[in-house]
Structure 1
Amino acid sequence: MTAPTAPGNAARRPSLWRNRDFFTLWGGQAVSTLGAQTSGTAMPLLVLATTGSPSDAGIVGAAGTLPYLVAHLPAGALVDRWDRRRILLTSELCAGLALSTIAVAIWLDRVTVAHLTVVAFVQGLCFVFFGLAERAALPRIVPAALLPTATAHNEARSRGAALAGPPLGGMLFGIGRAVPFLADALSYVIASVGLLFIRSDLQVRTAAPAESLWRATAEGLRWVWRHPLIRAAVFLIAASNLVFQALVLILVVLAQHHGATSTTIGTMLGVYSGGGLIGALAAGKFHHRFAPRTVIVGVNWIWAALLPLFALVSNPLLIGAVGAACAFAGPLWNVVIISHTTVLVPNELLGRVTSAAMTLAWGVMPIASLGAGYLLTALGPVGSIWVLAAVMLVVAVAATASPAVRHAPRLPLGTDADRTTP
C-alpha cells in the first residue's frame, strides 16, 4: 500500500506548502482548536462562578475526558471501518451544537452542573472520533517523508491555539458568560465548511471481510503490546498526562487564591501555552537531531525539575512562565512518538492502534480531573502541587530505567515521497 504523493516532480522532496488538502484541514482545525481552548478556559470559570466548588469543576472536567477512557478503543475500530470524511464532519457539527446549548442555558439563567457535565462529555466524545479520524487520514494526505513535519505543524496549531485561547476565553467570559461558548460553537461551523474542500481519498480500500468490533479493537491493543518502545512510551505518557491534566485546575485555583481575575487567569494560561507554541516550532526544525531515548528521558527530567517551582511562586504571570518552560518540552516528545507510530503502523490499522495507545495514555485524564478536585479540597493548591511533583519524579526515574527507552531506534524515514507498509 502506497500513500499518495504530493503534486509536482516525484524526484524532488515534496513540500507541505504545496499540499492544498493538508493546509485546508490544518486551517479549519486551527479555528476549531482556538474555539475549544476558549470555551475550555471558560468552563471551569463558569462552574466555579455557579457553584463555587472545585469538586464540581473536577467532575465537569472529568466528564470531558471520560470519552478518552471509554470510547477510544471502539472508536478506533470504527474509524478504520466507517467513512473518515463523514466522521470528521459529524464530529465538528455535533460538538458545535452541544456548546451552543450552554450559551442558551446562560441566557435563560438555567445553568446546572448536570448540563455542563453532559456537554463536556459530548464534546470529549466528538474530540475522540475527530482526533482518531484525522490521525488516520493524515498519511492519505501527506507523504511519509513529510509526516514528522506535518505532525510538528499540528503541534504548532494546537500550541498556538492554547496560547491565544485562554486569554481570549478569560476576556470573553468577562464580557459575558455565554460569549466564549457561542464563539466556540461558531468555530466548529467554520471548521466543518473547510472539511468540504478536502479532495483526497481518506480511506484505505480493502477487500478483506470486516472483523467483529471486538477483534478489530483487540488487534490495535496487540500491536501496541508487541512493540516495546511504543508500549513504554504509552505508559510514560499516561503518567505525565495524569500530572498535567490535574495541574490545570490546580493552577486556576492557585491563581484565584492569590486574587487573580478571570482575565488574569486566562493570560496566565496563555503564557503557559506560549512555551508549547515555541516548543512546537523548535520541534519541527530540530526533531531529527535528537535520539528518541534522549527526548523521552530528558523531557521527563525537565518536568520533574520544574514542577516544584509552581509551589514556590505566587504571581500568576510567574506561574505561567514556569508552565511555559514545561510546555516547551512537550512538542518534541509528541513529534517523536507520533511520527514513530504513524510511520510504523499500516494505515488500515492506524485508527485501531492509535485508539489503543490513546485509551491507555489519555484514559487517566478523568481520574486526574477528579483527583485534582479532591486534592484541592484536602490539601489546597500548594499541597496538591507537591503531590504532582512527587509523581513526576517517579515517572522520570522509570523513563531512565526502561530498557525499551534506552535502546530506542531512530525513526526509519527515508526522503522519498512513498511509503510501503509491511
Structure 2
Amino acid sequence: MSLGRTAGAARNPAQPLRHNRDFLLLWSGQVVSTVGTKISGLVYPLVTLALTGSPTKAGLVGFAFTLPGLIWYLLAGALVDRWNRKLVMMIADGVRAIAVGSIVFALLAGQPALWQLMLVAFIEGSGGVFFQLAEAAALPHVVTAEQLPAAVAQNQAREHGASLAGQPLGGLLFQLGHVVPFLTNAVSYLASLGSLMLIRPQFQQPRDRPPRRLFTEMGEGIAWLWRQHLLRSLVAIAALGNLAIGALPLILIVRMQQLGAPSVVIGLLFGLIGGGAVIGAVLAPWLQRRVPARVILIGSLWAWTALLGTLATLPNVVAMGLVMVPVTLLAPVLNVIVAGYRYALVPDRLLGRVTSVHRLISLGLSPVAVLGAGLVVSHLGSIPAFVIAAAVMALTALCAVAIPVVRRAPNVDTLITRTNELDQHASSSASPATQT
C-alpha cells in the first residue's frame, strides 16, 4: 500500500497543513494531553515520596508507569490494526481520565494507597501505548500525502515541546497542591477526547477480510518488517544507537554534578536540549527536501559519535550546552525520515503492527542503557562512560555505512513515487483478469 493511496487522497493535496481542520483538532488535543502525560511522569514519584518518604516505593510507581511499553506494544499493534482506531483512541483517553481522576478523589478524601498509585500509573501508561500506536497509524488518513512530512515533523515538535514544558509545569502545579497536577492531567485527557469527537475522517481503510488468530496477526507484522530490508536495517541501527543515547541523560547529570553545576543549571541545560529538538522538528521538512536522506541518516550518527566523544573532554557546563544543542537538532529530522519510510512502505492494514514492532525493538533496550550507564559511571566514572557511549555510537554509524540498503537509501519522495508506480502497474496488470 503506497503512501499516496493511504493518505487522504480525497482532500485537496495543495491545501496547507495549517488549513487542515482535522489535523489541527488532532494535534491541538494531543498538545494538551501530551503535556498532561509528561506532568504525570514527574508527579507520580513526587507524590509517592511526599506520602511515603520511600524512594523504593517511588521507584515502584515510576516502574509501573513505564512498564506497559514493554508488555503491550506487540499486542496493541495487532489490536489497533483490527479495531476501529478512532474508538481505541477515544477509549484510551476516557479510561486515562477516569483512572487519573480516581487519584484526585483519593487525595481529597485522604491518602491513596501505594497499590492504587501503581495501578493508576500502569493504566495511564497502558492507555498511552494504545493511543500512540493508533494515532501513528491514523495520521495518513487525516492528512494528504503531501502534508504528511510536515505533520510528522509537527508531531515531533509537539512531543519535544511537551517534554520541555511538562516537567517544569508539573513541579509548579505540585507546589500548588498534590491534587492539582492530577486534576490538570485528567482534564487534559478529556480535552483530547473532545477533539477526537470532532474529527471527521475514518482512521483506517475498510477491512476486506475477517480477523485471524491474534498471535497470527502479531506474527504477520513481525514477518513483514523482517522481509523489508530498509526498515529492518533502520530498526536494528536505532536499537544499537539507543544504547548510547538512552545512557546519555544519566551520564550528563553525573558529569555536571561533578563539575559543580547546581540542579537549576542542570535543568536549564536539559531545557536547552529540548528546545533544540523542537527547532529541529520545525526545520525537518525543509531539510528533508534539500538534503539527501542517506546523508542525514549516516551523518547524524557520526555527529552523535563526535558529540559523545567531545563531551568527555569539556571543562564546564556552558561548553557542554553549546555542543549539545546543534546535534540535538538532528534527532527529529532523523525521526521524520524514518517515519516517512514507514508510511511509504507499510500497508495500512499492517501499520499498527509494524509500528509496534519498530518501537519495541528500537526502544526496548533503553532500560538496559540506563542500567548499564549507572554501572559504568559507578565503577569507572563519567568520562569513561562518555567514551564507551561514543564507541557504541561509532559502531552504529559503521553498521549504517556497511549496510548497502542504508548507504543507498533513497529520499522519501523518490520512494513514494516508485511505490505508486509499482502499485499502478500491478493494478493495470490485474484489471484484464478482473474484467474477465
| Band the TM-score falls in, shorter-chain normalisation | 0.7 to 0.9
The answer to whether the 8 A contact 1:75-1:355 is kept is: yes
Who is 1:335 aligned against? 336
Map of 2:432 onto structure 1: none
Call closer, same or farther: CA 1:323–1:91 in 2, change over 3 Å.
farther
For each residue in 1:318-373, what CA deviation from the matched residue of structure 2 results, as whole angstroms up to 9, or x when unmatched? 65555433421111111111011112111111111111212211222333344455
Q: 1:328 to 1:316 in 2, by over 3 A?
A: same
Question: 1:65 offset after TM fit, Å?
Answer: 3.6
Task: After superposing the two structures, state which structure 1 stretch, 283-292 or 263-272, moved more.
Answer: 263-272
Write the distance in 2 (CA, Å) between the matches of 1:367 and 1:264: 27
Does the C-alpha gap of structure 1 residues 271 and 48 become closer, same or farther in structure 2, counting only changes over 3 Å?
A: farther
Matched-pair contact (CA < 8 Å) for 1:204–1:348: yes
1:168 maps to which residue? Answer: 169
Q: Equivalent residues in 2 for 1:15-414 (5 A)?
A: 15-43=16-44, 62-100=63-101, 108=110, 112=114, 117-176=118-177, 179-252=180-253, 258=260, 260-261=262-263, 264-312=265-313, 319=320, 321-375=322-376, 378=379, 384-411=385-412, 412-414=415-417
The verdict on how the C-alpha distance between 1:216 and 1:47 changes in structure 2, with shifts beyond 3 A counting, is: same
Partner Cα separation in structure 2 for residue 409 and residue 278 of structure 1: 25
SS at match of 2:67: helix
Paired residues in the alignment total 415
Alpha-carbon distance between aligned partners in 2 of 1:394 and 1:93, rounded to the nearest angstrom: 44
Structure 1 residues 317 and 327, CA, compared in 2 at 3 Å: closer, same or farther? same
Unaligned runs of 5+ in 1: none
**Kept after mapping to 2: 8 A contact 1:67/1:124:** yes
Structure ranking higher on relative contact order (CA contacts 8 Å, 6+ apart): 1
Shift of 1:147: 1.5
Q: Share of identical aligned residues, percent? A: 40
Task: Please report the RMSD computed on the Cα atoms of aligned residues, expressed in angstroms.
Answer: 3.4
When residues 149 and 274 of structure 1 are mapped into structure 2, their CA distance, relative to the original with a 3 A threshold, is: same
| TM-score (normalizing by structure 2) | 0.82
Range 282-291 or range 95-104, more displaced: 95-104
**CA deviation after TM superposition for structure 1 residue 46, in Å:** 5.9
State the Cα deviation string for residues 168-209 of structure 1 (Å, max 9, x = none). Answer: 334444555554444333322211211111111112212312
What is the deviation of 1:248? 3.2
Q: 1:335 to 1:419 in 2, by over 3 A?
A: farther
SS of aligned partner of 1:148: helix
- Cα distance, 1:383 vs structure 2: 5.3
Q: Look up the match of 1:5.
A: 9
Deviations, residues 73-110 of structure 1 (Å, cap 9, x unaligned): 11111001111111111222333444455666777456
Q: Which moves more between the two structures, 182-191 or 19-28?
A: 182-191
> Which segment is superposed worse, 32-41 or 316-325?
316-325
Distance in 2 between the 1:300 and 1:99 partners? Answer: 39
Task: Say which is worse superposed, 402-411 or 81-90, in terms of deviation.
Answer: 402-411
Letter of the 1:124 partner, please give it.
Answer: G
Structure with higher Rg: it is: 2
Structure 1 window deviating more from structure 2 (216-225 vs 168-177): it is 168-177
Whether contact under 8 Å (1:133, 1:351) holds in the other structure is yes
Q: 1:307/1:42 Cα in 2 relative to 1: closer, same or farther (>3 Å)?
A: farther
Cα pair 2:41 2:62 within 8 Å, conserved: no
8 Å contact kept, 2:99–2:123: yes
Q: Deviations over 1:104-132 (max 9, x none)?
A: 677745675x6655444333322221111
In structure 2, C-alpha distance between the alignment counterparts of 1:321 and 1:252, rounded to whole Å: 16
Q: Is the 8 A contact 2:43 2:174 kept in 1?
A: yes
Looking at structure 1, the residues matched to 30 and 348 of structure 2 have their Cα atoms a distance apart, in angstroms, of 22
Amino acid at match of 2:416: L
TM-score normalised per structure 1: 0.85
Q: Say which is worse superposed, 339-348 or 170-179, in terms of deviation.
A: 170-179
User: Residues 80 and 352 of structure 1 are in contact (CA less than 8 Å); yes or no, is this contact kept in structure 2?
Assistant: yes
